Structure formats: structure tokens, C-alpha cells
Amino acid sequence: MHIHPDALAVVRASAPDQPAILNRPHAAARAARFFVEKFPGKSLYAVKANPSADLLRVLWDSGVTHYDVASIAEVRLVRATLPEATLCFMHPVKAPAAIREAYEQHGVRVFSLDSFEELEKIKEACGFAEDLTLCVRLRVSSDYSELSLASKFGCDLTNAAELLQATRQAADSLGVCFHVGSQSMSPHAYVQALERVRAAIVDASVTVDIIDVGGGFPSIYPGMEPPPLEDYFGVIDRTYESLPISYSAELWCEPGRALCAEYNSMIVRVERRRGAELYINDGAYGALFDAAHVGWRFPVRVLREEVANDGVEIEMEPFSFYGPTCDDMDHMEGPFELPADMKVGDYIEIGMLGAYGAAMKTAFNGFGATEVFEVSDEPMASQYRGDRRDPRVSDNVVSLR
């Protein structure tokens, strides 16, 4: 694959008629190395965030050896792509046939659960094996996250002791896991959740071998500037070290968004302008699901040849987008800040779509075809370059030395 220097070079060379996905393997590799080197435990990539086989290989080559898979299709994909990877089947509700195939054909030994019914299902499907690592998922708060994951899965604290005790009897290794929600904007979310873990372990009086803090590690989007990831790692490490767990226990996490958000961006073309509304050739049924359905804002920039403007500042205007389908719900409110003179035929790069962007594209209404290019420039925002301004520090604060 030819590597272009940036999105504008892609437009120059191809003027794509279809939306174009831009891959940045170097950005994903950098994110992976950051977690491998700095998280005080083991990092499992949450495959659902972006199941691209190319991305899986980039992460593997950068040191990620464990993968959080949530379906038998993801189990098959990762096993076929990375034969030596450790697969952890972390969906708390699984079909018996999926458990059996994962265990017998793909070497999966790690499973999560949040009920007695699931525990019995796993035991039976695995033939009452004695080499299982079983992680009980607790329900925790999503108060500090942009997208809640507190409703669907997780055992309530009032029922946790009995389930932990029963799972301990069936497991070679016992884990406790949770998920604080997607795009957690405060490290305190993990402290709060780990305190709930502490209460569950004390109530159950069991030996715990794994603490899995799940995902939720944030990326940078317009209007959402989280603290540095090092802050998250620091409070997790300190709280974990004080838990009543096995002396040989392991700390795990399951980053999805944080490992792949910077991997993809997308080029779209303006097909119509109606006031402050731009009709573009991708949308809610494509890579912009989050922008339409949860109001997510993404960084944008128009792709035009640089023209000297004698120092005159370009006037910007907030736009909303309509996607290409016939559905009124194919609308992304934004606002997306672009030059006020946007016109039909302009190309726009939309950044930070590596997480739940390309992975959620559909073929609804006959749309969905994309071209794929690799580029070597930097993503529009990054947690990992080392040049990011600390959002906790005010520009008005004077440091006394």
C-alpha cells in the first residue's frame, strides 16, 4: 500500500468519490507501547472498539499480547490473525456453543460472568475443567463517564459475596472485573469502583488472583480534554496495592478507545450546502454513529491547497452534518467548526474515528463503500506525543521557582 504524507495528499492524488478511511499505524503502535510500558499491569485490547486485522497486528507487534473478545466471531478473528495471543472472553452473557468452541477449539481459558446461571453455563460447556480463570463482573457507577455502561451488566454488591464464593470453587484463578463506562473523564471513577471491589472481597472472604479495571480510558475530542493517562494509572496502582488480594495477584485493564481512537480518520465530501447544514457522503449509518446518536463531537478540518491570505484570519462557522441516507436521523448536530465559505465539492477530514467508527459502518440504503489509505502524519489529537498541554493547569497560574 502506498503511504501518503497526509489527508490532503490523498485528495490530491485520488479525489475519492467514496468516503476514505485513513489508517495511521504509527499512532496505534505508539498508544500500545504507552500502555505496555506505563500501565502497572497487563493491558488487554478490547477488540470490539476496532476489529481490524491490520490493527490487531500493529498492537501485537507493539507488545499487546492479551485480547478482550466479546463474541465467538471476535474469538475466531483474533485467533486466526494472532495464533499466539491470549484470548479473554469477557462478555458476561454467552451462548453455550460459543463457550464450548472458544474453550475446545481456540484455547480460551479466561471467561467473565455476572450471574450464577452464567457460572453453571461455563462449567458445563467447558466440561467442568479445572484450568479456568473466571472473572466476576461487578456493577459500578458510570457517573464520571461520557457514556454509561452501568445498566446492562454487572453483579450488584449485595449478591457479589455468594457469587464470588461459588466461582472460587470452580476457578483455578479468580478475578474481579468492572467497567466504569466509556470515556471516563476522571481518575476517581476507578478509585470509586475499586472501593466497591474491596467491599465485595471482604464480604466474600475469598482469595482473588486478578483485578481487572476494564476500559473507559479516555481520548481527546473537542470539548472533552481529560487529565493525562498517567494520573489514571497512578491512582489505580495505589488503590490496587491496598486491596486484600493474593500476594501474587495481577492487575489488568481493557483499553479499547484509548488504543485505537487515533488510528483512523476519514475523508468525506460535501455534496450539498443548506445554510449551516452540510450534506456529506458518510454519516450515522457509517463511521459517524457516535456523532449522530450520542452527540459526540469530532475534530474536523477542510482539505484545501494552502493559499496565502496576507495574514487575514479565516472566518469559521459552526456546521451540522447530514449523512447520505434517506433517513432524517442521519444527522450529526455537532457543532463542527469549519470555514464559513464551505461549498459543494469540498473535502473534510474528520479525526479520531478509530474507536467505534469504521467498526460500526453499515450498508444501509446501499451506502457504506469506502476506500482505505495509509498516511504518515499525526492524528488531530493525541494522548501520547508528549507535547500535550496539561488541561489541569490554568494559563493564568504563575509558577514560583
Which residues are catalytic, by number?
326
Contacts of 217 (CB under 8 A, 6+ apart): 184, 229, 232, 253, 255, 257, 258
Q: What backbone phi and psi angles, to 5 degrees, belong to 230?
A: -60, -30
Q: Report the alpha-carbon distance of residue 126 to residue 130 in Å, rounded.
A: 9
First to last CA, the chain: 52
Q: Report the alpha-carbon distance of residue 195 to residue 182 in Å, rounded.
A: 19
Q: Report the alpha-carbon distance of residue 394 to residue 263 in Å, rounded.
A: 30
130 CB-contact burial (10 Å; exposed 0-12 / middle 13-18 / buried 19+): exposed
Q: Report the alpha-carbon distance of residue 148 to residue 222 in Å, rounded.
A: 19
Bridge-based pairing state of the strands 347-350 and 316-322: unpaired
Q: Report the alpha-carbon distance of residue 173 to residue 160 in Å, rounded.
A: 17
Report which of 312, 282, 278, 356 is spatially closest to residue 52, judged by C-alpha positions: 356
Compute the residue count for the chain. Answer: 401
DSSP-derived 3-state class of residue 166: helix
Q: Residue 394's Cα: distance from chain center in Å? A: 29
Copy the grid coordinates of residue 69. Answer: 473478545
Quickly count: other Cβ atoms within 10 Å of residue 72's Cβ: 21
Copy the grid coordinates of residue 339. Answer: 470555514
Q: Report the alpha-carbon distance of residue 321 to residue 335 in Å, rounded.
A: 9
